[in-house]
Amino acid sequence: MAATIAPPGLSLTNEEINRYSRHLILPEVGMEGQIQLKASKVLCIGTGGLGAPIGMYLAAAGVGTIGLVDFDVVDRTNLQRQIIHGTKDIGRKKLDSAADTMLDINPNVNIVKYEAALTSENALDIVRQYDVVVDGTDNFPTRYLVNDACVLTGKPNVYGSIFRFEGQASVFATKDGPCYRCLYPEPPPPGLVPSCAEGGVLGILPGLIGVIQATEVVKLLLGKGETLAGRLVLYDALNMKFREMRLRKSPECPICGPNRTITALIDYHQFCGVPRETAEPATVQGDIDPTEVKALLDKHHHFTLIDVREPHEHQICRIPAARLIPLGDLPKRLAELDRSAEYIMHCKSGVRSAKACDLLKMNGFQKVRNMKGGILAWADKVDPSVPKY
């Protein structure tokens, strides 16, 4: 069983007995199970799309201690899916907003806030204090860090991941079960797989995957049922299909296999090839500020502004002078462009247009620049009437 053994003498108050009555009359939970939940400690990493339903349901279920790790602030674009936060919380720390919602649902829960990013330096000390860890993060470095910290401390890692209309869920690092590295030994190179911010996500999707994770947490704590250890659930919301793949403990796994080579936490940013996040991204050669682009347009300077976003994004907002060529179509449409002409590329925030610049330069284009910060920066600096999405 994953949970700490409930200390003898721990009991439920009359308020709790009343609150948990629908659990108490389930033979699989009962008084013993509910006290077990009260004695348990769960660490929830991230209080975003996945973390929202996880935090709310675990609080409602009466998990005694819930640790929350997050350092983000509530933003309006979060509210389409992060239902633990509300419109009134915009600008507040997600930790405070999430804790308020959870304590409103169940004031008996003890919430421990960690206002920090999980790092190789702090992860083991934090993870060690909990019975089960739930991974609600949104990036590869943290996912490998959570996995490794769980394997090294022997804590089950309840995994969920989402992209557009698809989700994955499993339970890793149980006593004899596989871990995340058994499933995927290495992450994709940065930029190959778009994030939800770049690729979009159905707001309800993290709700469903997060609820699967919360279910698995409660089962692990109660020691009941059959968990997802050794199985990978794949969910396709668009076609409403659930599939299940067999997941094996890899004999070659570098952290949980018989010939393990990883015995301590490593540098996960380096492992994933991701530069550490800095507050202000450095200006790279070839970047141009939106205000300068505006000045060039006003001067009728001869150049072409190319929008490399998708047509459905172009419908949301656009710069009138820009010509739409989605990044994915660019390789096939190079013949429409002139290698000696001047181009400025833009997208939503500057990531895809940087790739477009690289593509053009590799194909012999000389005068190519990237509009820094994309149309979001254009809305901030040039034209506030442009909606931000």
Partner 1 sequence: MPKILIPTPLRQFVDKQDAVTVAGATVGELLQALTNQHADLRKHLYNDEGKLRSFVNVYLNDEDIRYLDKDATAVKDSDTISIVPSIAGGR
User: What is the contact surface with partner 1 in residues (CB under 8 A)?
Assistant: 46, 48-51, 72, 78, 82, 135-140, 143, 160-166, 168, 183-188, 192-196, 199, 201, 206, 232, 234, 239, 243-248, 250, 328, 331
> Closest approach of Cβ 46 to partner 1, in Å?
6
Contact 124/130 with Cβ under 8 angstroms? no
Q: Judge residue 21's burial from the number of C-beta atoms within 10 Å of its C-beta, 0-12 exposed, 13-18 middle, 19 or more buried.
A: exposed
* Other CB atoms within 10 A of residue 215 CB: 18
Check: CB of residue 210 under 8 Å from CB of residue 161.
Answer: no
User: How far does CA 211 lie from the centroid of its chain?
Assistant: 15
Residues designated as active site:
196, 347
- Sign of torsion over alpha carbons 211, 80, 180, 94: negative
Encoded amino acid at 116, one letter: A
Shortest reach from residue 75's CB to partner 1, in Å: 10
> CB 328 → partner 1: shortest distance, Å?
5
Q: Which is nearer to partner 1, 156 or 326 (CB)?
A: 326
Q: What's the min distance (Å) between Cβ of 161 and partner 1? A: 5
Residue 232 Cβ vs partner 1, minimum distance, rounded to whole Å: 8
Nearer to partner 1, 81 or 346 (CB): 81
Judged by beta carbon, residue 181 or residue 369, the one nearer partner 1 is: 181
CB of 61 to partner 1, least distance (A): 21
Inter-residue contact 131 to 42 (CB < 8 Å) = yes
What span, in angstroms and rounded, lies between the C-alpha atoms of 49 and 126? 22
Which residue, 84, 20, 74, 75, is CA-closest to 53?
Answer: 84
Residues forming beta bridges with residue 142, ordered by sequence position: none
Kindly state the smallest distance separating residue 243's Cβ from partner 1, in Å: 7
Nearer to partner 1, 78 or 101 (CB): 78
Residues 131, 128: Cα–Cα separation, whole Å: 8
Long-range residue pairs from 99-107, CB within 8 A, at least 24 positions apart, any chain:
99/68, 101/55, 101/56, 102/55, 102/56, 102/59, 102/66, 103/59, 105/56, 105/59, 105/60, 106/19, 106/59, 106/60, 106/62
Closest CB to partner 1 among residues 35, 133: 133
CB atoms within 10 A of CB 386: 16
**In sequence order, what are the residues at sequence separation of 6 or more whose Cβ sits closer than 8 angstroms to the Cβ of residue 196?**
49, 138, 162, 163, 164
**What pairing do the DSSP bridges indicate for beta strands 157-163 and 166-172?**
antiparallel
Which C-beta is closer to partner 1: that of 34 or that of 157?
157
Pair 137, 117: CB distance under 8 Å: no
Min dist CB 165 to partner 1, Å, is 6
Nearer to partner 1 by Cβ, of 6 and 98: the residue is 98
For 156, 157, 242, 247, the CA distances from 229, given in Å and listed in that order, are 9, 10, 17, 8
Beta bridge partners of 234: 168, 243
Residue among 33 and 177 whose Cβ is closer to partner 1? 177
